[in-house]
Amino acid sequence: MAEKHLTQDQLEIISNKVVGDGFYRLTVRSHSWAKSARAGQFAHIRVGKGLEPLLRRPISIHGLDDRDAIAFLYQAKGAGTALLAAKRTGETIDAIGPAGNGFTVDARFRRIILVGGGIGVAPLMFLAQAYRAKGTAVTVLLGARSKDCLTCLADFKSLGCQVTVTTDDGSQGHRGYVTDILEQHISAGPGPVAIFACGPTVMMRRAATIAGLYDVFCEVSLEERMACGVGACLGCAVMTTTGYRRVCADGPVFSAEEVVWTG
Ligand code: FES
């Protein structure tokens, strides 16, 4: 196994609830994961029993529920995640992690802007928790196809984040893309400001471009399809300014400046 800090654990399910159109919030009990996990990391979860399906699913850590419990957010949109959605309280999941590098959490930023699209919101909640714990102002820009595809608004607000929504069809919030409103939010308050983005590639690419124009610190969390999930197969390699890097082991968080965008 490439990452020496990874562990493989059987985590007891506390709850596994629908929190939106196809979105599920899975909470598991684990003092060691709650203690060691960082925002931006993920778990590589075996969703079925035995060897079917063979590949684990990378699921973002969504946040801490308390000192003994962590939450994951996932979208049930295929056979594997449908199996995960069928799991019940009291069952266990086989999880490897906490995997990946995580976002930068730095008290020098006076404001941070979280840019999330679709299920990309999953790791940003954990990051909002980390920055709000430091007293940092957190602006959340959430984008979705329509209001039915939005989730986590109330949770961000209860953390004290300022939340603005965009939908492609205008059914809630501003009509258009979430990156349409990013520039105005960069200019709207004191710095230093940092941007953290997770969602569709086109959204992250645009956020990275805008961050570059304003010379603002920006990290993106890439969501490549993974196979081994532990750095061994190179199936998740992406091109960066320093060569190919593995999303699962070198990421999933990268500086926006180092990503060579192909999508
Ligand atoms: S999925 Fe195998 S190296 Fe990343």
Judged against a pLDDT cut of 70, whether residue 259 lies above it is answered with yes
Ligand 1, residue 227: give the atom nearest the CA. Answer: 1
Q: Quickly list DSSP for 159-194.
A: TT-EEEEEETTSSSSEES-GGGGHHHHHTTS-S-EE
Please give the pLDDT value at position 1: 38
The beta-strand segments (E) located in 82-160 are: 92-99, 111-117, 137-144
Q: Which two tokens stand for residue 221?
A: 């969390």
Judged against a pLDDT cut of 80, whether residue 134 lies above it is answered with yes
At 68-88, the pLDDT tens digits run 999 999 999 888 889 999 999
Please give the pLDDT value at position 2: 43
What's the angle, vertex CA 69, arms to CA 224 and CA 159, rounded to 5? Answer: 80
Contact at 8 Å (CB) between 207 and 116?
no
What's the angle, vertex CA 123, arms to CA 118 and CA 124, rounded to 5? Answer: 80
- Residue 3 C-alpha from the chain's centroid: 20
Residue in 223, 234, 244, 250 to alter for ligand 1 test, most ligand atoms within 8 A of Cβ:
234
Ligand 1, residue 228: give the atom nearest the CA. Answer: 2
For residue 51, name the pLDDT band (cuts at 50, 70, 90): low
β-strand partners of 114: 140, 196
Ligand 1 site residues (CB inside 6 A) read 226-229, 231-236, 246, 248
Q: Which two tokens stand for residue 90?
A: 């009291």
Contact at 8 Å (CB) between 111 and 136?
yes
Ligand 1, residue 229: give the atom nearest the CA. Answer: 1
Q: Which element (helix H / strand E) includes 214?
A: helix 201-214
Max Cα distance, the chain (Å)? 53
Judged against a pLDDT cut of 50, whether residue 3 lies above it is answered with no
Please give the pLDDT value at position 208: 97
Phi, psi angle pair for 182, to nearest 5°:
-65, -45
Please give the pLDDT value at position 190: 86
Ligand 1, residue 226: give the atom nearest the CA. Answer: 1
Residue in 3, 226, 250 to alter for ligand 1 test, most ligand atoms within 8 A of Cβ:
226
C-alpha closest to that of 115 among 56, 166, 76: 166
Read off the pTM.
0.94
At 13-32, the pLDDT tens digits run 999 999 988 999 999 999 99
Judged against a pLDDT cut of 90, whether residue 199 lies above it is answered with yes
Pick 149 or 211 by higher pLDDT. Answer: 211
13 CA distance to ligand 1 middle (Å): 26
β-strand partners of 75: 23
- Cβ of 165: how many Cβ atoms within 10 Å? 18
Rounded mean pLDDT, 162-188: 95
Residue in 230, 238, 250 to alter for ligand 1 test, most ligand atoms within 8 A of Cβ:
230
Please give the pLDDT value at position 30: 95
Q: Which element (helix H / strand E) includes 147?
A: none
What domains appear along the chain, each with residue ranges and CATH number?
Answer: 7-99 (2.40.30.10), 111-258 (3.40.50.80)
Rounded mean pLDDT, 113-125: 96
Contacts of 210 (CB under 8 A, 6+ apart): 179, 182, 183, 186, 195, 216
Cα gap 74→59, rounded to integer Å: 6
For residue 230, name the pLDDT band (cuts at 50, 70, 90): confident
